[in-house]
């Protein structure tokens, strides 16, 4: 095996690690619909799961940036979830 055979394409590696949030959302909606949820309810649940996923991702990034213990992540998520701009009823600017 030559060294050339071990060359890693950074673009390919990045593509493997990237997530398709739209596809994940569609899959969740489909699964929930198959479980008997209405399309409206399935969509609402899928959107809530996506928001929670995003909040956890952001909390991990904050914890890493500020060199916080990973045990801080749930508390950060809880704090962010309470932000008025993340409430489903509005954008916090009413």
Concatenate the DSSP letters of all residues of 19-78 into one string.
--HHHHHHHHHHHHHHTT--HHHHHHHHHHHHHHHHHHHHHHHHHHHTT--GGGHHHHHH
Q: How far apart are CA 30 and CA 15, in angstroms?
A: 24
Q: Where in the sequence is the domain holding 39, given as residue range(s)?
A: 20-86
78-92 confidence digits (pLDDT tens): 999 999 988 766 444
Q: Is residue 94 part of a domain?
A: no
Tokens of 39: 């399309």
26-60 confidence digits (pLDDT tens): 999 999 999 999 999 999 999 999 999 989 999 99
Q: Is residue 64 part of a domain?
A: yes
Number of domains in the chain: 1
Tokens of 37: 């949820």
């Amino acid at each position: 095996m030559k060294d050339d055979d071990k060359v890693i394409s950074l673009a390919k590696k990045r593509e493997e690690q990237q997530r398709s949030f739209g596809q994940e959302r569609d899959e969740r909606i489909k699964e929930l619909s198959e479980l008997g949820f209405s399309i409206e309810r399935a969509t609402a649940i899928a959107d809530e799961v996506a928001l929670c996923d995003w909040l956890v991702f952001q909390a991990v990034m904050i914890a890493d940036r500020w060199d916080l213990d990973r045990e801080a992540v749930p508390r950060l998520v809880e704090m962010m979830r309470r932000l008025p701009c993340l409430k489903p009823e509005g954008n916090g600017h009413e």
